[in-house]
Structure 1
């Protein structure tokens, strides 16, 4: 019976041991792998948006700001507006002092 040179189950070489353990870290740390992938994607976005640009808002001109700074400012302003609207419009009963139990039980 001839042995298969590609059979890594009985191989005692370092290459065979490495091939059997390949992907073990990924199976043990799937969330860590996803975090590394997201970090790489964020770094790519940062690298692509470092050039400076200017923006005109009504009669103001914001000159020579990096695109990344403008993106971050837009995200923060959007988050603040969203939170303000959420507190103002989506939860009006709490502002008037009503509770959940008083609405459900007359």
Structure 2
């Protein structure tokens, strides 16, 4: 039986030695790696949505508006609308079943 040439120990190359510690940065900076990944995903979404489009709003027509701008505008309008609803119906004292505090007992002073 012949010896397998791949089982014999070989001297490591400089490239192979550098790759051994290549995962150290990822282990030390997991949030940085996640931020880089999210940045790449955002750049891909931006690149895919740069083509102009037109939109009809009742009797107005907005022409040649990039899809990205349209998406950002709709998100901002939706967030403002949601915040207005939240402030109108979920007042700070009425959240999660809390009852308004009686302030008459605490505002009295002693003679």
Q: TM-score, normalised by structure 1?
A: 0.75
Counterpart in 2 of 1:81? 81
Residue ranges of structure 1 left out of the alignment (5+ in a row): none
Aligned counterparts, 1:42-81, within 5 A: 42-81=42-81
Residue 19 of structure 1: how far off its partner (Å)? 2.1
Counterpart in 2 of 1:5? 10
Residue 100 of structure 1: how far off its partner (Å)? 6.0
Q: Number of paired residues?
A: 94
Counterpart in 2 of 1:102? 101
Residue 102 of structure 1: how far off its partner (Å)? 1.3
Residue ranges of structure 2 left out of the alignment (5+ in a row): 1-6, 103-111
Larger Rg: 2
Aligned counterparts, 1:8-27, within 5 A: 13-27=13-27
**Is 1:38 matched up with 2:35?**
no
Q: CA RMSD in A?
A: 2.7
Q: TM-score, normalised by structure 2?
A: 0.72
Regions of 4+ moved over 3 Å: none
